[in-house]
Structure formats: C-alpha cells, structure tokens
Amino acid sequence: MQQIELPGMAPTMALDGLHPGCGDHGRFDVAQDAMVDIALSGHAPVFVGVSGGKDSQALAYRVQEHLDTVGHLGPRVLIHSDLGRIEWKDSGPVCERLAERLGWELVTVRRAAGDMIDRWQARWDANMARYRQLDCVKLIMPWSSASQRFCTSELKTQVIARAIRARHPTGAVVSAVGIRWEESAARARQPIAKQDKALSRSRGIGLTWNAIIHWRREEVLDFIRRRGGVLHEAYRIYGSTRVSCAFCVLASRGDLQAAARCEDNAAVYRQLVELEIRSTFSFQSGNWLGDVAPMLLDPGVRSRLIEAKERALMRQAAEADIPPHLLYETGWPVCLPTSCEAHLLASVRQRVADAVGISVDYLDGLAIVGRYAALMAQKVQQAQIAQAGRRVGRRLAA
C-alpha cells in the first residue's frame, strides 16, 4: 500500500541538522513540576508508558533528553501494555525499535485475566447473568464507553502500575505518560504531574508525569521526525489519526475504517461484529461496527447483522416502557413496584429476553415484587453490618 504523509511530517531540509529546541523558543520544552524535579534529582526510577503511538514515541525521546540534561542516573524503562488480539500488530515492534534506539529496557505487561476481547465477552456474560437474576433493571451492553473506560483502567493503568510497584517496592517512582491538553476536554483539565495512589506504596511515593501535556500535534510529529523516528503503520500506511486498540469504542469512523483496511485486523473485526450480533448492542452508541467494513463479512453474517439491528429496536422499545422511577439510580432499588408496575416489568423482561434470545427469571408480577423486596432487605442488612463495623472501629480506636 502507498505510504501516507501526515501533516507536519513533510521534510524541512533547513532544519535537518537542528537539535530539537535550538532556535525554537522553547517549543519542545518539557512540562516540569517540583515533585518530579525532586524525584529525578534523587535518581528515582522513570517508566515511560508506550503504546506504539506518536505521543508516547515523542514522549520517550523527549524524556530521555531531559533525563540526560538533569544528570539522572536512575533506572529508565519503557513499559508497554499488550492489549492482545485487538492491538495493532505493529505496536509491539514499534515499541521494540524505540527501546533499541534509546538503549532502554522494554517491559511488556498483560492483563492476567485475558485481553480486551476477553474482557468484553466476560462482561456480556456477567451482564446477562445479572439481568437474568434481576440484579439490574435494564440489560447492560458489553462494551466500554467514554463514561466507563474500564478498557483503559483495567488493561493499561492497573496492569502497568502493578508491574511498577512489584519492581520497586520502596522509594519514589515516576511514570511518564503521553497525554496532551489539546486532545479532549477531560485531558485539558489534567495537571502536569500528580501523586498517583496506584503507583504509591507504604514506603514510596508514585508520581504520574504528563511531560508533553502542553504540546500540540504538530510539535509531536515534528519532534519525532527530527529524532529520525518512524511512525506506526497505522499512521503511515492506513491513515489513522491515533493508535490504541485497532477498533476503539472512542474512535472516529475514519479511524475504524483505517483499522479495517489492515488485513491483520480482519479476524478481530469479525469477532467484534459477532458480539454486536449476539448482544444486540452496537459497538458505539448508534454506530454499528458491522457497517464500517461489511465487505469483510460473509453474506450470512451480514444478514444476521440486519436481524440484530431489528432485535435491538425491539429491546429498546420494551425498555422504554419502564417507569422512570424504577430505572437504575444510586441505591437501586429504592422502592417496591406496585402490582401494576410489577406486571409491566414482567412484560418488559419477557420482550427483552425474546428480542435478545436469552432466558431470564422473574417473569410474573408476584415474583418481581418478591425479588425487589429481597433486594431491599439485603441492602438494609448490608447497611446495618457496615454501621456495626464502624462502631467497632471507633471503640478500638478510642
């Protein structure tokens, strides 16, 4: 395939011999923080999280320069969380080449309980079980989302933090991350550095350092070019704007199409579409992954996808009949349904079960009232146990 030239990566011959930072009026400055400066002066271990993407690549190059400048003599490590089947095949090799160029160790970690696809499939199985037992009032999708980014927390943040703590049970540690303010409103609120509870131990503080958080995209690309770095194939060949999961729940349609153009991603694409079909939940809200590259699906799968969309509408129509005061809220369930409401909930549950093709319990009004009563009694009991525990704790502390 033809290589794609990204904006900001075009050759600039007059700058080829220019050391990053010279004559740029601080364009490539590191974002500094007093806590990080103190840790680095004490030669604390520095871990740079790398995904294979452009931001972490620029971060690694720039942090290396900064550590050399300040005379840092502590351990320096690149750490990569392998997301499994859903990861671009080029991500690992990009990280390996980067480690070789820097002369740093590369540590690759993985979630012990399985990869990202395993997590989504397990979540769907668990959510079906919860719905079957009336532990939730609406069927819950398998996918992560902008408001529930367990994909990042469980597959990256927690796994990386656990590995860092295991390597350095005492003393300060610094974890450099390549997020940038311009990427999103949420990231625009992030500090340059912060104490990170996930990295901290009883005998050592852990710091997260967003060292290039103020950089713009153009600066990231320019800095990589000046260091002679080679971008991930997702950018160069397939035209993606970002690298993480090949198919990300937060990706633009263009980036999903870019991932689908890579033959290496075809098998995982089909697996995700199968989960869309089985669950009747689209990969993104209102956007079915199966519509991104239907040419990768055989006719039978395309036909089943059409049926899944119809079944999704049936499920949504059924759940739209649930009275608002019976929907989930903190402390659910907060009230017993009336006899009429319980019969309505039974009807909704039967229609949802028929639409999705699952078996469920509690399909009559009396059973539903009994289940709600049991859940509310259980909630009261748990509160009483917690209150008794607090009283014991206060007596012991007195």
Q: Which pLDDT belongs to residue 15?
A: 30
The residues of the chain scoring below 50 in pLDDT are: 1-23
Q: Which pLDDT belongs to residue 383?
A: 85
Query: CA-CA distances (angstroms) from residue 234 to 75, 136, 218?
Result: 31, 39, 17
In the structure encoding, which two tokens stand for residue 254, read together? 């263009």
Q: What is the pTM of this model?
A: 0.88
- Distance, in Å, from the CA atom of 176 to the CA atom of 179, rounded to the nearest integer, reads 9
**In terms of Cα–Cα distance, which of 169, 53, 162, 46 is closest to 105?**
46
Q: Which pLDDT belongs to residue 25?
A: 58
What single string gives the DSSP state of each residue in 127-177? HHHHHHTTSSSS---SS--SS--HHHIIIIIHHHHHHHHHH-SSS-EEEE-
Q: Which residues of 229-247 are buried (b: 16+ CB within 10 A; e: fewer)?
A: bebbbbbbbbebebbbbbb
**Domain spans, the chain:** 13-236, 253-319, 325-374
Q: Which pLDDT belongs to residue 135?
A: 97
CB 40 within 8 A of CB 172: no
CB 38 within 8 A of CB 167: no
Taking each helix axis as running N to C, give the angle between helix 299-319 and helix 339-356, from 0 to 180 degrees, rounded to the nearest 10: 170
Report the Cα 2 to chain-centroid distance in Å.
30
Q: Which pLDDT belongs to residue 16?
A: 33
Q: What is the CATH class of 13-236?
A: alpha beta
- Distance, in Å, from the CA atom of 57 to the CA atom of 221, rounded to the nearest integer, reads 10
Q: What would the pLDDT profile of 109-132 be if each residue is shown by its tens digit?
A: 999 999 999 999 999 999 999 999
**In terms of Cα–Cα distance, which of 13, 25, 384, 51 is closest to 242?**
51
What is the DSSP-derived secondary structure letter of residue 328? -
Q: Which pLDDT belongs to residue 18?
A: 33
CB 232 within 8 A of CB 243: yes
Q: Which pLDDT belongs to residue 374?
A: 97
